[in-house]
Every structure is written in C-alpha cells, then in structure tokens.
Amino acid sequence: MSPIVLLILGIAVVVICILWLKIDAILALLFAAILVSVLTPEANLLQYAESKMMSAEATNTFINQSIGKRIAANFGSTAAKIGILIAMASIIGTCLLRSGSADRVIRSALKFFGEKKAPAAFLTSGFTLGIPVFFDTVFYLMVPLTKALTLRVGKNYLFYLTATVAGAAMAHSLVPPTPGPLFVAGELGVELGVMIIGGLVVGLFTITAGYLYAAWANKRWTIPLRDTGDVSLEELNVLMNKDDHELPPLWLALTPIILPLILISANTVAGVVSVSEAGTGMKIFKFLGDSNIALTLSAVVSLAILISTVSDKGKIKKFILEALQSAGVIILITCMGGAFGGSLQQTGIGSQLQALATDYQMAILPLAFFITSLMRTAQGSATVGMITAVGIIGGMVDTTALDFHPVYLALMIGCGSKPFPWMNDSGFWVVCKMSGMTEKEALKTFSTVLGIMGYVGMIVIIILAKLFPLV
C-alpha cells in the first residue's frame, strides 16, 4: 500500500476518533499507529531500514519485530526524550502558581509598564509564564487580573484578554520546555538552547503582530465584563487589593523561569568544546545544562519557594501529586503521538516526497506549516498537531542536508500549530468560559489572533532562513 494512502488513513483515524467518536486523543493516536503499522508492507519497512543505514542484522531484527513492539519502541524513545522534562515543567508551573510567584511576575510587569501600557504587561507576562507553564494554566491565572484591571479603568477588557492570549499561546508553541517545541526540537535534532533562542526571536515578531491585532479589535468591538462562575466581583476586588508583601520577591519568583534558560543556553555554548579539551568549568556547564538536570534544578528551586510560602505543609504533597498526575496525561499523549509519527515514518513516506525536499529546499518550510495547521485544526490540540506533523516531516527530509538550520523547520511547525483553533480545542472553551465571551466573540478574537500570529511567524521564518541560514 502506498505511503501516501497510509498517511491519509492514519490522519483520518485520528480525526474520526476525536471529532466523531469523541475518543480521547491518546487512544486515537494508538489506533492510528496500529492501523498504519498493520498495513505497512515489509518492502516499505526494508526501505525505511535502508534509509536509516541499519546493518543487515539490525534490519532483519527490525523487520521481524512484532507490530506491538515497534509501536512500543517508538513510544519509549519519545518518553526517553521528554518524559522527565514534562514532569519537571509541570512541577515548576504548579509551584509558580501556588506560591504566588506567577502573580508577582504579573504585578511587577504592570508596575513597570503602568496602567496605560497594561496590555503590553499582559502580553509580556503571558509570554514569560507561557515558557514553563501551559497555556490553559497561564490563562486561568491571568484572566482574574484582566477583569480586576477592567473594573479599575472601566474599559479595554478585550485588549487585556487578547494580549494575554497572544503572549501565552506563542510561548506554548515556540519555546521549550513546553511539550510541543520540546518534542519537535528533539525529533529534528535541534539543541534546546538553539530552540529557545530561535523561539524568543520569532516570538518577538509574532506577539507584536498579536498585540497590534488586539489593539485594532479593541477599537472595533466592545466585550463587556460579564458574570462568570469562576469568580465574583467581590473576589476580584480582594485580588486587586492584595498586599504585595504576601507574594515572593520578583528576583525569587523569576528564578525558576530564568535558571533553566541560562543553564541550557550555557550548555549550548559549552557544546562547541569537546569534553577532552574542556576545563572543569565547561564540564560543570555541560552537566548542569543538560535539559533533564536543568529542569530538575529549577523544580527544586520552585518547590523550595512553595514550601517557604505555604503555611500548611500538608498541602505540599497534594500539590505535587496533582502536578505529576497532570504531567502523566501530557506524557502519554505526547509519547503516543511519537509512536504514531514513528509508524508513519516506517511506511517509507520519505522516499515518496524526498524530491520536494531535495529539489525545492525552501518549499519544505511552508509545507511543514500547512501540514501542522491541518492537524491542529482537525483535532484541536496544538501539541498533538506539532508532534504528529514532525513525525510526517521527519520522514520527508534529512535535516543534515538542508540548506538552512533545522531550527527553522522546528519553529515553522510551532507557528503552524496556531491556525485555526475552534470548538474542538480545549483552550477555546477555557477562554470562552473564563472570560465570559460568546462562541462568536471567541472566534473573532481568540481564534483570529492565533491565526494571524501563525502566518506572521511563517513569513518571518522564511525570511530568516534565507538571510541567516546558519549552516
């Protein structure tokens, strides 16, 4: 059976299971991986083994391996790359929220910018917090502040909301350690330090576009502050008047966010020096800058902050258990996406589309964008869209033979995960229900701003890849 047909069948299974049968994405991805693997001919597996330059013995073992073991192997290899990182990132996010560190970051940004520039404060705060904390969580944290500030100034509610969404959503898809960019970077062989720097650069352009759209939309439409079930006006007033002394100092609140970024970036620099030639300092950087170690250290720091701020120590274990339970679901869905992507690669789809990647190198960038957008729009999750798309793209190209650094391909997949969120996206409903917007209002604002930022990111990445190929 043709690899293209297998690809279409695999995507169809994911879409039908999630949208029509309402089956959880984890099972949908597993079913798709099984179907694709069952229908993949032995000749395709042989072709895949040859493309990976396996030895004769390894090829024979691979071809004779059971379908279940092949899928499990792809699942396990993905878990090895991102399992610890996601667990630690979840702990960091929970501790930031529970200790008041995230609240401190937001309030400090508001003080720095002033109320007139509050939308810029929400934009930058959302982006900063979106690096270690998942989008839904960032929005849960910040929407009460947007409501409180609206009560104070009496206007600009839509501006605050849209700016918050713009910042948090782009960090979620561009800057590790959030699962999407973390997984994509690992699959394409992009060092995390390079991915972080690239995500910050492209993110600057995209959130600027998001900010401009938010300003335009705020002038065009008025979204009133409506009652919602999550918070009362009385609670909003308490939140708005909360004393600063109840929150951790800013330098301490920022430490769990900045520490892993510094360590991982330092490791990238140290990576140009061989271990045999490196001094003790460089070897320490390489140890501490390993992504698993860096995120673990950050989790320890964030946990220490939480312990120092929570009076009831018995709640600490409960908070961490909740964080790990949440991380477990994310790890499952991410690794199952890796299993599905691995099954697609083993169909030999790369040989079918290699001409596109070889003869028209730059065409692979917009292609990656639209494949990711298709998957995101079809099944709702930006992360699932990214991990599914990289499985498809990874089988099409040899990243070492590109005319540009593979970080651009990874960033393109991140931007492709933005268009077009609608009713099958959990984030869509979080924004709707927490903000009090109607579905139509959310489509005009939340969905549109993410689409605009995605397309701006695509254009920026193509230009950067042309001007600064980094190879």
How far, in Å, are 41, 83, 365, 394 from residue 351 at the CA level?
14, 31, 18, 12
Positive or negative torsion for Cα 117, 123, 126, 129? negative
- pLDDT for the residue 230: 45
Look at phi and psi of residue 178 and say left if phi exceeds 0, alpha if psi is from -120 to 50, else beta. beta
* Domain boundaries, given as residue ranges, for the chain: 3-467
Mean pLDDT, range 266-285, rounded to an integer: 65
pLDDT at 24: 80
Q: What is the DSSP string of 331-375?
A: HHHHHHHHHHHHHHHTTTHHHHHHHHHHH-GGGHHHHHHHHHHHH
Please give the Cα distance from 9 to 228 (Å, whole number): 42
Per-residue pLDDT, 286 = 79
Contacts of 189 (CB under 8 A, 6+ apart): 399, 400, 406
Task: Give the model confidence (pLDDT) of 152-184 as tens digits.
Answer: 778 899 999 999 999 999 998 999 878 889 889
Confirm if 202 and 410 have CB atoms less than 8 A apart. Answer: no
Give per-residue pLDDT as tens, 422-454: 766 777 877 887 788 888 898 899 999 999 999
181 with 175: CB under 8 angstroms? yes
Does the pLDDT of residue 357 top 50, yes or no? no
DSSP lists the bridge partners of residue 228 as 231
Both structure tokens of 350: 């790369």
Of the ranges 141-155, 202-216, 219-233, which is most confident?
A: 202-216
pTM of the model: 0.72
Q: Strand pairing partners for 231?
A: 228
Mean pLDDT of 64-75: 90
pLDDT tens sequence across 187-197 = 898 998 999 99
Reading the block at residue 80, the tokens are 């090895």
In this prediction, residue 355 carries a pLDDT of: 52
Instruction: Name the nearest CA neighbour of 170 among 459, 449, 462.
Output: 449
Q: What is the mean pLDDT of residues 338-350?
A: 79
Distance, in Å, from the CA atom of 181 to the CA atom of 297, rounded to the nearest integer, reads 20
